[in-house]
Amino acid sequence: MKNNKIKMKNKFIKIGKSVIDLEIEALRKTKRSIGKSFNDVIETISKCQSKVILCGVGKSGLIASKISSTLSSVGIPSFTISAIDSSHGDLGSISKKDILILISYSGNTEELKNIIQFANRNRIKLIGIMSKKNSLLYKNSNIKLLIPEVKESGFGIVPTSSTTTQLAIGDAIAITLMQQKNFSKLDFKKFHPSGNLGKKLRTVEDLMLKNDKIPFVNENTNLEKAIRFINLKKLGIVIIRNKKKNTIGILTDGDLKRIIQKNKNFEKLTVKSFMTKKPISIDKNVLAVKAMEIMNRHKITSLCVHNKSNQKKTVGVLHIHNLISANIT
Protein backbone atom coordinates (compact mmCIF):
# COMPACT_ATOMS: atom_id res chain seq x y z
CA MET A 1 0.00 0.00 0.00
CA LYS A 2 2.78 2.37 0.97
CA ASN A 3 4.71 1.53 -2.20
CA ASN A 4 1.64 2.26 -4.32
CA LYS A 5 1.31 5.70 -2.73
CA ILE A 6 4.97 6.46 -3.42
CA LYS A 7 4.59 5.30 -7.04
CA MET A 8 1.50 7.49 -7.45
CA LYS A 9 3.29 10.54 -6.04
CA ASN A 10 6.25 9.96 -8.35
CA LYS A 11 3.82 9.66 -11.26
CA PHE A 12 2.29 13.04 -10.42
CA ILE A 13 5.74 14.64 -10.33
CA LYS A 14 6.59 13.08 -13.68
CA ILE A 15 3.40 14.40 -15.27
CA GLY A 16 4.00 17.89 -13.87
CA LYS A 17 7.55 17.97 -15.21
CA SER A 18 6.45 16.71 -18.61
CA VAL A 19 3.98 19.61 -18.93
CA ILE A 20 6.73 22.10 -18.15
CA ASP A 21 9.12 20.34 -20.55
CA LEU A 22 6.60 20.79 -23.36
CA GLU A 23 6.19 24.46 -22.55
CA ILE A 24 9.95 25.02 -22.40
CA GLU A 25 10.33 23.47 -25.85
CA ALA A 26 7.44 25.63 -27.10
CA LEU A 27 9.18 28.75 -25.79
CA ARG A 28 12.42 27.74 -27.52
CA LYS A 29 10.57 27.41 -30.83
CA THR A 30 8.87 30.76 -30.25
CA LYS A 31 12.19 32.46 -29.54
CA ARG A 32 13.62 31.14 -32.81
CA SER A 33 10.57 32.41 -34.70
CA ILE A 34 11.00 36.07 -33.73
CA GLY A 35 12.02 38.08 -36.79
CA LYS A 36 11.01 40.93 -39.09
CA SER A 37 7.31 40.82 -38.26
CA PHE A 38 8.16 41.36 -34.59
CA ASN A 39 10.08 44.50 -35.53
CA ASP A 40 7.08 45.65 -37.58
CA VAL A 41 4.82 45.22 -34.54
CA ILE A 42 7.15 47.31 -32.35
CA GLU A 43 7.52 50.10 -34.91
CA THR A 44 3.77 50.22 -35.56
CA ILE A 45 2.73 50.36 -31.90
CA SER A 46 5.44 52.90 -31.04
CA LYS A 47 3.94 55.26 -33.64
CA CYS A 48 0.36 54.75 -32.44
CA GLN A 49 -1.34 58.02 -31.50
CA SER A 50 -4.34 56.37 -29.90
CA LYS A 51 -5.02 53.03 -28.15
CA VAL A 52 -3.92 49.44 -28.57
CA ILE A 53 -6.97 47.16 -28.38
CA LEU A 54 -6.67 43.42 -27.88
CA CYS A 55 -9.15 40.61 -28.37
CA GLY A 56 -9.15 36.85 -28.23
CA VAL A 57 -11.58 34.04 -27.52
CA GLY A 58 -11.45 31.56 -24.64
CA LYS A 59 -7.96 31.09 -23.21
CA SER A 60 -6.57 33.46 -25.85
CA GLY A 61 -8.97 36.08 -24.52
CA LEU A 62 -7.46 35.75 -21.06
CA ILE A 63 -3.99 36.13 -22.55
CA ALA A 64 -5.18 39.23 -24.42
CA SER A 65 -6.31 40.76 -21.11
CA LYS A 66 -2.94 40.13 -19.50
CA ILE A 67 -1.02 41.60 -22.45
CA SER A 68 -3.28 44.66 -22.48
CA SER A 69 -2.72 45.16 -18.75
CA THR A 70 1.06 44.92 -19.20
CA LEU A 71 1.02 47.44 -22.06
CA SER A 72 -0.98 49.90 -19.95
CA SER A 73 1.46 49.49 -17.06
CA VAL A 74 4.36 50.59 -19.29
CA GLY A 75 2.55 53.68 -20.54
CA ILE A 76 0.82 52.38 -23.66
CA PRO A 77 -2.96 53.02 -23.47
CA SER A 78 -4.65 49.68 -23.98
CA PHE A 79 -7.82 47.75 -23.26
CA THR A 80 -9.54 44.55 -24.35
CA ILE A 81 -12.90 43.96 -25.99
CA SER A 82 -15.04 40.85 -25.87
CA ALA A 83 -15.25 38.99 -29.17
CA ILE A 84 -18.89 38.12 -28.44
CA ASP A 85 -19.98 41.57 -27.22
CA SER A 86 -18.19 43.29 -30.11
CA SER A 87 -20.98 42.18 -32.44
CA HIS A 88 -23.51 43.87 -30.19
CA GLY A 89 -22.16 47.41 -30.16
CA ASP A 90 -18.66 47.21 -28.67
CA LEU A 91 -17.03 47.73 -32.07
CA GLY A 92 -17.97 51.37 -31.60
CA SER A 93 -15.15 51.70 -29.06
CA ILE A 94 -12.57 51.19 -31.84
CA SER A 95 -11.42 54.28 -33.75
CA LYS A 96 -9.44 54.53 -36.98
CA LYS A 97 -6.30 55.64 -35.13
CA ASP A 98 -6.33 52.59 -32.88
CA ILE A 99 -4.31 49.44 -33.40
CA LEU A 100 -6.16 46.16 -33.10
CA ILE A 101 -4.37 42.99 -31.98
CA LEU A 102 -6.28 39.73 -32.40
CA ILE A 103 -5.01 36.53 -30.80
CA SER A 104 -6.08 33.09 -31.98
CA TYR A 105 -4.08 29.87 -32.11
CA SER A 106 -5.99 28.56 -35.12
CA GLY A 107 -6.61 31.97 -36.66
CA ASN A 108 -10.06 30.76 -37.70
CA THR A 109 -12.03 31.44 -34.54
CA GLU A 110 -15.61 32.08 -35.63
CA GLU A 111 -16.21 34.89 -33.11
CA LEU A 112 -13.38 36.97 -34.58
CA LYS A 113 -14.78 37.15 -38.12
CA ASN A 114 -16.95 40.23 -37.51
CA ILE A 115 -14.05 42.09 -35.89
CA ILE A 116 -11.72 41.25 -38.79
CA GLN A 117 -14.30 42.49 -41.30
CA PHE A 118 -14.85 45.67 -39.29
CA ALA A 119 -11.10 46.38 -39.14
CA ASN A 120 -10.61 45.83 -42.87
CA ARG A 121 -13.70 47.85 -43.80
CA ASN A 122 -12.58 50.82 -41.66
CA ARG A 123 -8.87 50.52 -42.49
CA ILE A 124 -7.90 49.92 -38.88
CA LYS A 125 -4.38 48.56 -38.48
CA LEU A 126 -4.70 44.87 -37.61
CA ILE A 127 -1.97 42.78 -35.98
CA GLY A 128 -2.70 39.07 -35.97
CA ILE A 129 -1.05 36.64 -33.55
CA MET A 130 -1.76 33.08 -34.72
CA SER A 131 -0.11 29.75 -35.52
CA LYS A 132 -1.88 28.74 -38.75
CA LYS A 133 -0.54 30.30 -41.93
CA ASN A 134 -3.59 29.64 -44.10
CA SER A 135 -6.04 30.99 -41.56
CA LEU A 136 -8.55 33.80 -41.93
CA LEU A 137 -6.66 35.94 -39.40
CA TYR A 138 -3.33 35.43 -41.17
CA LYS A 139 -4.75 36.38 -44.56
CA ASN A 140 -6.46 39.56 -43.27
CA SER A 141 -3.82 40.96 -40.91
CA ASN A 142 -1.67 43.95 -41.84
CA ILE A 143 1.09 42.52 -39.69
CA LYS A 144 1.23 38.75 -39.36
CA LEU A 145 2.96 37.62 -36.17
CA LEU A 146 3.11 33.89 -36.78
CA ILE A 147 4.11 31.84 -33.74
CA PRO A 148 4.99 28.14 -34.06
CA GLU A 149 2.52 25.32 -33.77
CA VAL A 150 3.31 23.53 -30.53
CA LYS A 151 2.38 20.33 -28.73
CA GLU A 152 -0.23 20.76 -26.00
CA SER A 153 -0.45 18.81 -22.75
CA GLY A 154 -3.55 16.89 -21.65
CA PHE A 155 -4.03 14.57 -24.64
CA GLY A 156 -2.95 17.45 -26.90
CA ILE A 157 -6.28 19.25 -26.52
CA VAL A 158 -5.85 21.51 -23.47
CA PRO A 159 -4.44 24.99 -24.33
CA THR A 160 -1.18 24.97 -22.37
CA SER A 161 1.93 25.35 -24.52
CA SER A 162 0.07 27.56 -27.02
CA THR A 163 -1.11 30.04 -24.38
CA THR A 164 2.37 30.08 -22.83
CA THR A 165 3.86 31.14 -26.16
CA GLN A 166 1.16 33.78 -26.67
CA LEU A 167 1.87 35.21 -23.24
CA ALA A 168 5.63 35.20 -23.87
CA ILE A 169 5.19 37.05 -27.17
CA GLY A 170 3.00 39.62 -25.41
CA ASP A 171 5.61 40.15 -22.70
CA ALA A 172 8.33 40.46 -25.34
CA ILE A 173 6.33 43.13 -27.16
CA ALA A 174 5.62 45.11 -23.97
CA ILE A 175 9.18 45.07 -22.64
CA THR A 176 10.67 45.91 -26.04
CA LEU A 177 8.32 48.89 -26.31
CA MET A 178 9.19 49.92 -22.76
CA GLN A 179 12.89 50.03 -23.59
CA GLN A 180 12.26 51.64 -26.98
CA LYS A 181 10.44 54.47 -25.16
CA ASN A 182 13.20 54.76 -22.49
CA PHE A 183 10.49 54.05 -19.93
CA SER A 184 12.14 54.48 -16.52
CA LYS A 185 11.38 53.23 -13.01
CA LEU A 186 10.01 56.67 -12.19
CA ASP A 187 7.65 56.44 -15.18
CA PHE A 188 6.58 53.01 -13.98
CA LYS A 189 5.88 54.44 -10.53
CA LYS A 190 3.31 56.86 -11.96
CA PHE A 191 1.14 53.92 -12.98
CA HIS A 192 1.79 51.88 -9.81
CA PRO A 193 1.39 54.27 -6.85
CA SER A 194 0.10 51.59 -4.46
CA GLY A 195 0.96 48.10 -3.26
CA ASN A 196 4.40 46.51 -3.00
CA LEU A 197 5.47 47.89 -6.37
CA GLY A 198 4.51 51.38 -5.27
CA LYS A 199 6.58 51.02 -2.10
CA LYS A 200 9.62 49.78 -4.01
CA LEU A 201 9.37 52.69 -6.43
CA ARG A 202 8.88 55.48 -3.90
CA THR A 203 11.46 58.22 -4.29
CA VAL A 204 13.37 60.30 -1.78
CA GLU A 205 11.11 63.24 -2.65
CA ASP A 206 8.05 61.23 -1.62
CA LEU A 207 9.37 60.79 1.92
CA MET A 208 11.68 63.73 2.65
CA LEU A 209 10.98 66.57 5.06
CA LYS A 210 10.96 70.00 3.47
CA ASN A 211 10.44 73.73 3.99
CA ASP A 212 10.37 74.71 7.68
CA LYS A 213 10.94 71.10 8.79
CA ILE A 214 14.52 71.27 7.51
CA PRO A 215 16.87 72.12 10.43
CA PHE A 216 18.85 74.92 8.74
CA VAL A 217 21.25 77.17 10.66
CA ASN A 218 23.75 79.67 9.28
CA GLU A 219 27.48 79.12 9.58
CA ASN A 220 27.90 81.67 12.40
CA THR A 221 25.28 80.11 14.70
CA ASN A 222 26.70 79.39 18.16
CA LEU A 223 26.59 75.90 19.63
CA GLU A 224 24.15 76.83 22.38
CA LYS A 225 21.56 77.85 19.78
CA ALA A 226 22.37 74.79 17.67
CA ILE A 227 21.59 72.52 20.63
CA ARG A 228 18.22 74.21 21.14
CA PHE A 229 17.47 73.86 17.44
CA ILE A 230 18.33 70.15 17.39
CA ASN A 231 16.00 69.59 20.34
CA LEU A 232 13.25 71.59 18.61
CA LYS A 233 13.43 69.79 15.23
CA LYS A 234 13.99 66.34 16.77
CA LEU A 235 16.09 65.03 13.87
CA GLY A 236 19.41 64.86 15.68
CA ILE A 237 21.13 67.19 13.19
CA VAL A 238 21.47 70.74 11.98
CA ILE A 239 22.34 71.58 8.38
CA ILE A 240 24.72 74.50 8.04
CA ARG A 241 24.42 77.03 5.21
CA ASN A 242 26.55 80.01 4.11
CA LYS A 243 25.33 83.47 3.09
CA LYS A 244 24.39 82.16 -0.38
CA LYS A 245 22.22 79.54 1.33
CA ASN A 246 24.42 76.76 -0.01
CA THR A 247 24.86 73.76 2.28
CA ILE A 248 28.43 73.64 3.58
CA GLY A 249 28.22 71.18 6.48
CA ILE A 250 26.29 69.16 9.02
CA LEU A 251 26.46 68.82 12.78
CA THR A 252 24.90 65.91 14.71
CA ASP A 253 23.83 65.60 18.31
CA GLY A 254 26.66 63.10 18.72
CA ASP A 255 29.14 65.70 17.49
CA LEU A 256 27.76 68.21 20.01
CA LYS A 257 28.12 65.80 22.94
CA ARG A 258 31.77 65.25 22.09
CA ILE A 259 32.36 69.00 21.73
CA ILE A 260 30.77 69.72 25.13
CA GLN A 261 32.95 67.09 26.81
CA LYS A 262 36.11 68.69 25.42
CA ASN A 263 35.17 72.39 25.74
CA LYS A 264 33.94 73.88 29.03
CA ASN A 265 32.98 77.23 27.47
CA PHE A 266 31.38 75.85 24.33
CA GLU A 267 28.32 78.13 24.19
CA LYS A 268 29.94 80.90 22.14
CA LEU A 269 31.72 78.58 19.70
CA THR A 270 30.19 78.47 16.21
CA VAL A 271 28.95 75.47 14.27
CA LYS A 272 31.29 76.28 11.39
CA SER A 273 34.31 75.38 13.53
CA PHE A 274 33.10 71.84 14.25
CA MET A 275 30.82 70.85 11.37
CA THR A 276 31.41 67.92 9.03
CA LYS A 277 32.08 69.54 5.69
CA LYS A 278 30.42 68.41 2.46
CA PRO A 279 27.74 66.18 4.02
CA ILE A 280 26.42 63.24 2.03
CA SER A 281 23.57 64.42 -0.19
CA ILE A 282 21.19 62.56 -2.49
CA ASP A 283 19.12 63.55 -5.52
CA LYS A 284 15.42 63.84 -4.69
CA ASN A 285 14.48 61.56 -7.63
CA VAL A 286 16.54 58.60 -6.40
CA LEU A 287 14.57 55.61 -5.15
CA ALA A 288 14.06 55.51 -1.39
CA VAL A 289 15.54 52.00 -1.18
CA LYS A 290 18.80 53.43 -2.54
CA ALA A 291 18.78 56.07 0.21
CA MET A 292 18.46 53.31 2.81
CA GLU A 293 21.45 51.51 1.26
CA ILE A 294 23.53 54.70 1.52
CA MET A 295 22.55 55.24 5.15
CA ASN A 296 23.43 51.65 6.05
CA ARG A 297 26.73 51.79 4.19
CA HIS A 298 27.87 55.03 5.83
CA LYS A 299 26.22 54.25 9.20
CA ILE A 300 24.29 57.52 9.26
CA THR A 301 20.66 58.33 10.02
CA SER A 302 20.03 61.39 7.82
CA LEU A 303 20.70 62.57 4.29
CA CYS A 304 20.58 66.03 2.77
CA VAL A 305 18.47 66.11 -0.38
CA HIS A 306 19.20 68.19 -3.48
CA ASN A 307 17.88 68.86 -6.97
CA LYS A 308 19.92 67.38 -9.79
CA SER A 309 20.37 70.87 -11.27
CA ASN A 310 21.96 72.29 -8.08
CA GLN A 311 23.67 69.95 -5.62
CA LYS A 312 24.83 72.80 -3.38
CA LYS A 313 21.35 73.75 -2.21
CA THR A 314 19.49 71.43 0.15
CA VAL A 315 15.77 71.15 -0.65
CA GLY A 316 14.92 68.48 1.90
CA VAL A 317 16.20 66.14 4.57
CA LEU A 318 15.56 62.42 4.76
CA HIS A 319 15.70 60.72 8.15
CA ILE A 320 15.88 56.98 8.65
CA HIS A 321 12.59 57.13 10.57
CA ASN A 322 10.88 58.37 7.38
CA LEU A 323 12.11 55.27 5.57
CA ILE A 324 11.18 52.84 8.33
CA SER A 325 7.69 54.35 8.64
CA ALA A 326 7.23 53.74 4.89
CA ASN A 327 8.41 50.11 5.30
CA ILE A 328 11.54 50.80 3.25
CA THR A 329 14.13 48.36 4.51
CATH number at residue 78: 3.40.50.10490
Start-end of H helices in the chain: 2-33, 36-46, 59-73, 113-121, 136-140, 161-180, 185-191, 195-200, 204-207, 223-233, 253-262, 288-298, 320-325
Tally of structural domains, the chain: 2
Residue pLDDT, tens place only, 281-313: 999 999 888 999 999 999 998 999 999 889 899
The answer to the question of residue 192 being in a domain is: no
Q: What is the mean pLDDT of residues 88-105?
A: 88
Rounded CA-CA distance 246/304 in Å is 12
Domain for residue 198, yes or no? no
| pLDDT given for residue 1 in this prediction | 60
For strand 302-307 and strand 310-319, is the pairing parallel, antiparallel, or unpaired? antiparallel
pLDDT beyond 80 at 193: no
> Can you tell me the distance from the alpha carbon of 214 to that of 234, in angstroms, rounded to the nearest whole number?
11
Looking at the fold, whether 112 and 70 belong to one and the same domain comes out as yes
Pick the closest to residue 317 from 231, 191, 208, 211 (CA basis). Answer: 208
224 and 302, same structural domain?
yes
Half-sphere exposure of 186 (CA within 13 A, CB side): 10
- In a domain, residue 216? The reply is yes
Is 103 inside any structural domain? Answer: yes
CA-nearest of 163, 187, 189 to 177 is: 187
- Read off the amino acid at residue 183: F
Which pLDDT does position 22 carry in this prediction? 94
Residue 81 lies in a domain: yes
Residues 19 and 159 in one domain: yes
Please report which helix (H) or strand (E) contains residue 75, including its range.
Answer: none
Name residue 295's amino acid. M
Is 228 found in the same domain as 135? Answer: no
User: Is the pLDDT confidence value at 199 over 90?
Assistant: no
DSSP letters, 215-250, are: -EEETT-BHHHHHHHHHHHTSSEEEEE-TT--EEEE
Q: Does 74 share its domain with 122?
A: yes
Query: Which pLDDT tens digit goes with each residue over 98-126?
Result: 999 999 999 998 888 989 999 999 999 99
Tens-digit pLDDT profile for residues 223-254: 888 888 888 888 889 999 999 999 999 988 88
Structural domain contains residue 275: yes
- 129/254 same-domain check: no
Q: Which residues of 290-301 are buried (b: 16+ CB within 10 A; e: fewer)?
A: ebbeebeeeebb
Q: Are residues 64 and 176 in the same domain?
A: yes
Q: Which of 130, 148, 183 is the last residue of a domain?
A: 183
CB neighbourhood size of 172 (10 A): 16
Average pLDDT for residues 185-192, to the nearest whole number?
68
**CATH number of residue 219's parent domain:** 3.10.580.10
pLDDT in tens, 50-74: 999 999 988 999 999 999 999 998 8
List residues bridging with 314 in a β-sheet.
Answer: 306
Nearest to 65 by CA among 54, 50, 74, 76: 54
244, 120: one domain: no
User: Which of 120, 148, 183 lies at the terminal end of a domain, its last residue?
Assistant: 183
Residue 163 has pLDDT above 70, yes or no: yes
193 assigned to some structural domain:
no
Task: Give the range among 92-106, 157-171, 214-228 with minimum mean pLDDT.
Answer: 214-228
Mean pLDDT is highest, among 4-8, 62-66, 113-117, 325-329, for 62-66
Mean pLDDT computed over every residue of the chain? 89
Residues 318 and 243 in one domain: yes
Task: Give the side-chain half-sphere CA count within 13 A for 223.
Answer: 22
Residues 231 and 274 in one domain: yes
User: What pTM does this model have?
Assistant: 0.69
Considering 135, 152, 183, which residue would you say is the last residue of a domain? 183
* Shared-domain flag, residues 174 and 308: no
What is the CB neighbour count within 10 angstroms for residue 26?
A: 23
Shared-domain flag, residues 178 and 209: no
CA 160 to each of CA 14, 64, 149, 214, 240: distance values in angstroms, whole numbers, following the listed order: 17, 15, 12, 57, 64
With a pLDDT cut of 70, the percent of the chain lying above it is: 94
Q: Domain range holding 54?
A: 2-183
Task: Classify residue 53: in a domain, yes or no.
Answer: yes
Longest dimension (CA), the chain: 93
Asked if pLDDT for residue 9 goes beyond 80, the answer is no
